[in-house]
Amino acid sequence: MKIAIVNVCIPFIYGGAEFLADSLKNKLIEYGHQAIIVKIPFKWYPPQRIIEHMLACRLLRCENVDRVIALKFPAYYIKHPDKILWLLHQHRQAYDLWGTPYQDIPSTPDGLRIRQTIIQSDNAFIKEAKKIYTNSDVVSGRLKRFNGIDSEVLYPPLMDAEKFRCSEFGDYLFYPSRIILGKRQYLAVESMKYTRSGAKLIVAGHPDTPEQLEYIKSIIEKNHLQSKVKIIGHWISQEEKSDLYANALGCIYIPYDEDSYGYVSLEAYQSGKPVITCSDSGGTLAVVENDITGYVVPPEPQALAETIDKLYFDKVQSARLGQAGREKLSTMNITWERVMRCLAA
């Protein structure tokens, strides 16, 4: 089959969604399909731009393609007779973030109209898909609650899961992710002020802007945490990453209110390491169970510091939690075989 994976993009930004699209493409090819990724640029400011990009996606055509797999808002508006959704995001500012500080669209008459247009278009166009999958319980729940649309959860597997391994339990917690406010690296760094053990923190990732990186560094300096925190402020290779996982004491992944569990959790468990996450991190809670596969704590530096110390002082327990995480993954049926059955059969 000739399959186009249709996604939106912000040029020069590469994150989990882009990685998922690349992985999906490679797997489709491995399974004997022809596959390409179609990236449509997206801009959300000023809010009027949202509507214009929705319209653009609707007006584009994807010919010479047997099937479209659409991932994100508003790429899934593209017209195609054989369209399947693997929904990673709606435009959350119009839904659950409306009425929060992250709303972004003003509550003016114009803003309200934009919000209405997004909701109505989602109501009308999402249903065109032959089948609707989402990447998490959170996304499926939201789609049901706000749009009354049923969907099935299809968890995204890791690419090259076999490359992750567990070597030893070192003295550092590992936090790999794009460096951006929503991932709250600043919170991870601040928690290191309160640790009493010899635990260290390694933060690695590409900053969305140079300012974000400067900000994190300034927190370290202000608190004299240079000996406890190391920042690798750029994208690291797969090998470096799997090495850093393999020798970590555990993993910290504390984004604010994410939809999916994030690759970080999968990678950590695949490496046999426990995951510390926050009670408001969203999707991670689908895989991180407190005291079973890691720790779920309130988003406060002292609480985080306490769990970091706990892992440091009881490495046997860390290993046990990490092992339980790995076992949990296998019971959840997060496999590419299943993804191929759902999306490319």
CA–centroid distance for 152 within its chain: 18
| 57-116 residues near other proteins, rule: CB under 8 A | 57-65
Binding residue count for other proteins, defined by CB under 8 A: 27
- 46 preceded by a cis bond (ω within 30 of 0): yes
Element containing residue 267 per DSSP (H, E): helix 262-270
**CB-neighbour burial class of residue 232 (10 A; exposed 0-12, middle 13-18, buried 19+):** middle
User: What does the DSSP assignment read for 194-224?
Assistant: S--SS-EEEEE--BSSHHHHHHHHHHHHHTT
Residue 113 contacts by C-beta under 8 Å, 6 or more apart in sequence? none
CA distances from 151 to 86, 148, 270 (A): 10, 10, 27
Query: Contact, 311 vs 255, CB < 8 A?
Result: no
By CB under 8 A, tell whether 246 contacts other proteins: no
Q: Which is nearer to other proteins, 12 or 239 (CB)?
A: 12
By CB under 8 A, tell whether 178 contacts other proteins: no
Taking CB under 8 A as the criterion, the residue among 40, 232, 292, 324 binding other proteins is 40
Q: Which is nearer to other proteins, 179 or 308 (CB)?
A: 179
Query: Contact, 42 vs 118, CB < 8 A?
Result: no
Pick the piece of the chain touching other proteins (CB under 8 A) from 53-61, 166-174, 191-199, 269-277: 53-61
Q: Which is nearer to other proteins, 105 or 202 (CB)?
A: 105
Rounded distance, CA 336 to CA 242, Å? 20
Min CB(84)–other proteins separation in Å: 16
Taking CB under 8 A as the criterion, the residue among 16, 31, 55, 323 binding other proteins is 55
By CB under 8 A, tell whether 209 contacts other proteins: no
Rounded distance, CA 33 to CA 135, Å? 22
Pick the piece of the chain touching other proteins (CB under 8 A) from 37-45, 165-173, 180-188, 210-218: 37-45
By CB under 8 A, tell whether 43 contacts other proteins: yes
By CB under 8 A, tell whether 52 contacts other proteins: yes
Min CB(4)–other proteins separation in Å: 6
Q: Which is nearer to other proteins, 7 or 242 (CB)?
A: 7
Q: Which is nearer to other proteins, 11 or 101 (CB)?
A: 11
Rounded distance, CA 96 to CA 103, Å? 9
By CB under 8 A, tell whether 2 contacts other proteins: yes
Min CB(39)–other proteins separation in Å: 6
Residue 328 contacts by C-beta under 8 Å, 6 or more apart in sequence? 269, 287, 289, 292, 293
Taking CB under 8 A as the criterion, the residue among 21, 28, 38, 285 binding other proteins is 38
By CB under 8 A, tell whether 41 contacts other proteins: yes
| 6-25 residues near other proteins, rule: CB under 8 A | 9-12
Exposure string for 274-311, b = 16+ CB within 10 A, e = fewer: bbbbbebbbbbbbbbbeeebbbbbebebebbbbbbbbb
- Binding residues vs other proteins (CB under 8 A): 2, 4, 9-12, 34, 36, 38-41, 43, 49, 52-53, 55-65
